[in-house]
């Protein structure tokens, strides 16, 4: 199994220029932008308020399972096949995968030119999680889905993310599945039920004519059409079965979807899972509970099911964990959510324990992530001389705190005290077993929960990513490409990671 990045243009592991720190040419994505670019920011209280269903679902119960059952029942009543499977007869094919796309701003459009170049000739695209921010409304699809991908010539399928669920999945089901029904949540029970009943944000109206016109205007070509059977689905080919699951708001599958997942996972054919929530992320195992018992990862790791990879969105960066199972196989667990939304920091990922650190891959590199965040905080706090770290300084600080070999090497001096302090303040963990606990406290003093959401930007380097997957009868090749926003990288985007998986 190969895990080497092929020769080609510089990437972030070979140079600062490859990471996008020095853009020699303005990106052509500016020409794709609408006349009025949405002023989208997670720093706005109104945006957070519109996303309140996430908090309500975690405090008072996630209604996604009940809503999904109702909607799936409606899909079955109109004749959708019980297996929710799309059959493609070609034994060799390629597809693109991009996650967490739909902010509709510069960072989403910056992904489009390199995506179109690197995925030329692919047969379809998959969006893994959060097609539309902040709340999945149908009214946002023309500007945040149809228009950005108007030049992608093949069908697009998707698995919903938590943000797509904040309108009860109504917009998603209308656009991707042709379901016009409003599957409202069941009533909450209990002494505090009046809170979610009063505060729950219900889905907005669906203007079917406006959506049909947007589809005709932007993605109306015959080759671009391809309705999917439901919010979860399978694409069956002679060489590989691709299975997409709907993880709702909190990551839990209802028992009906769990039963379906076990059924479509059977048999000797190799399988790849696409999920709205990753199973391994930030050096943490999140197996994905199923209503009634069991987990998604138990199904993936069962040797009888022959999974070779599991790819999840939700977290807005790239991570790869080659996990060895008890029977000696290796399953590639991948996070790929850098399709357009704000960047989740990678410098807060500890030295990995679930796999050997030398086998772990992430994009952006931890040093680049720390440097980008230090510049943002330096500007916001008007302390650039203190906070801002160059990529070299940030890389040295990460190497010092984590005790790892940096992804991009430098010959400079060791990290300064200032760089080490800024790294600790911005959340780089300390890899030092046996140190007194009080010495580790400064690492956690700035809350992690909203740090990334607040640190959005609309200038290169963006550190976005997408995948190209090429399937033959004998192998699956997965490549992660960078979208920096630099014009130099649009026609030949840097390949940040590659893995080839045998299918026989």
> Which residues make Cβ contacts (< 8 Å) with residue 34, sequence separation at least 6?
143, 147
**Of all residues in the chain, what percent carry a pLDDT higher than 70?**
93
What would the pLDDT profile of 437-462 be if each residue is shown by its tens digit? 444 434 444 444 445 666 677 789 99
HEC profile of 378-430:
HHHCCCHHHHCCCHHHHHHHHHHHHCCCCCCCCCCCCCCHHHHHHHHHCCCCC
Q: Which H/E stretch holds residue 246?
A: none
What would the pLDDT profile of 36-76 be if each residue is shown by its tens digit? 887 777 778 888 889 999 999 999 989 999 999 999 999 98
pLDDT for the residue 40? 75
Q: Give this prediction's pTM.
A: 0.94
pLDDT band, very low/low/confident/very high, at 8 (cuts 50, 70, 90): low
pLDDT for the residue 311? 98
With 0-12 / 13-18 / 19 or more C-beta atoms within 10 angstroms meaning exposed / middle / buried, residue 450 is exposed
Q: Is the pLDDT of residue 417 over 90?
A: yes
pLDDT for the residue 424? 93
Q: How far is CA 160 from CA 73, 206, 397, 450, in A?
A: 18, 17, 37, 22
Q: Is the pLDDT of residue 151 over 60?
A: yes
Greatest alpha-carbon span in the chain: 67
Average pLDDT of every residue of the chain: 91
What would the pLDDT profile of 241-279 be if each residue is shown by its tens digit? 999 999 999 999 999 999 999 999 999 999 999 999 999
pLDDT for the residue 182? 76
127-156 mean pLDDT: 96
> What are the structural domains of the chain?
45-344+465-502 (3.60.21.10), 361-443 (no CATH)
pLDDT for the residue 3? 43
What's the distance, CA 54 to chain centroid? 17
Q: Is the Cβ–Cβ distance between 477 and 498 less than 8 Å?
A: yes
pLDDT band, very low/low/confident/very high, at 356 (cuts 50, 70, 90): very high
pLDDT band, very low/low/confident/very high, at 436 (cuts 50, 70, 90): very low
State how far the Cα of 427 lies from the Cα of 422, in Å rounded to an integer.
Answer: 9
**10 vs 362, more confident:** 362
Residue whose C-alpha is closest to residue 104's, from 139, 76, 80: 139
> 94 forms bridges with which residues in the sheet?
470
Q: List, as one string, the DSSP characters of 68-129.
A: HHHHHHHHHHTT--TT-EEE---SSEEEEEE-S----SHHHHTTHHHHHHHTTT-SEEEEES
pLDDT for the residue 451? 59
């Amino acid at each position: 199994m190969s895990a080497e990045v092929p020769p080609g243009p510089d990437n972030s592991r070979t140079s600062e220029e490859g990471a996008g720190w020095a853009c020699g040419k303005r990106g052509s994505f500016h020409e794709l932008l609408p006349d009025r670019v949405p002023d989208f920011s997670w720093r706005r209280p109104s945006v957070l308020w519109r996303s309140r269903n996430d908090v309500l679902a975690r405090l008072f119960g996630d209604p996604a399972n009940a809503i999904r059952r109702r909607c799936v029942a409606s899909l079955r009543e109109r004749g959708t096949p019980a297996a929710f499977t799309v059959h493609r007869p070609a034994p060799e094919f390629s597809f693109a995968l991009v996650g967490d796309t739909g902010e509709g701003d510069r960072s989403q459009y910056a992904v489009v030119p390199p995506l179109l170049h690197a995925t030329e000739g692919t047969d379809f695209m998959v969006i893994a999680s959060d097609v539309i921010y902040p709340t999945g409304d149908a009214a946002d699809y023309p500007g945040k889905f149809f228009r950005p991908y108007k030049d992608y010539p093949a069908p697009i399928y998707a698995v919903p993310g938590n943000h797509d669920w904040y309108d009860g999945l109504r917009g998603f089901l209308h656009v991707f599945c042709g379901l016009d029904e409003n599957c409202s949540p069941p009533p909450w029970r209990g002494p505090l039920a009046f809170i979610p009943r009063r505060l729950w944000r219900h889905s907005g109206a669906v203007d079917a004519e406006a959506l049909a016109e947007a589809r005709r205007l932007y993605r109306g070509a015959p080759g671009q059409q391809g309705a999917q059977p439901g919010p979860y689905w399978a694409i069956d080919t002679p060489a590989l079965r691709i299975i997409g699951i709907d993880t709702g708001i909190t990551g839990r599958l209802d028992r009906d979807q769990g039963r379906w997942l076990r059924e479509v996972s059977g048999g000797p054919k190799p399988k790849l899972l696409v999920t709205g929530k990753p199973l391994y992320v930030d050096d943490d195992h999140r197996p994905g509970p199923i209503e009634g018992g069991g987990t998604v990862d138990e199904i993936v790791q069962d040797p009888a099911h022959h999974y070779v990879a599991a790819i999840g969105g939700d977290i807005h960066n790239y991570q790869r964990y080659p996990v060895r199972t008890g029977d000696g196989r290796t399953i590639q667990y991948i996070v790929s959510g850098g399709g357009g939304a704000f960047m989740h920091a990678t410098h807060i990922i500890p030295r990995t324990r679930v796999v050997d650190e030398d086998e772990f891959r992430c994009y952006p590199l931890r040093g680049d992530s720390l440097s980008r965040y230090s510049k943002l905080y330096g500007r916001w706090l008007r302390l650039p001389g203190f906070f801002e770290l160059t990529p070299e300084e940030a890389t040295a600080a990460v190497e010092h705190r984590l005790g790892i070999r940096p992804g991009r090497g430098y010959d400079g001096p060791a990290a300064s005290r200032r760089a080490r302090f800024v790294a600790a303040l911005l959340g780089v963990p300390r890899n030092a077993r046996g140190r007194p606990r009080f010495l580790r406290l400064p690492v956690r003093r700035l809350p992690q929960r909203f740090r990334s959401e607040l640190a959005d930007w609309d200038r290169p380097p963006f550190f976005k990513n997408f995948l190209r997957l090429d399937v033959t009868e004998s192998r699956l090749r997965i490549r992660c490409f960078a979208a920096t926003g630099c014009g130099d990288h649009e026609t030949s985007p840097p390949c940040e990671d590659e893995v080839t998986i045998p299918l026989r």
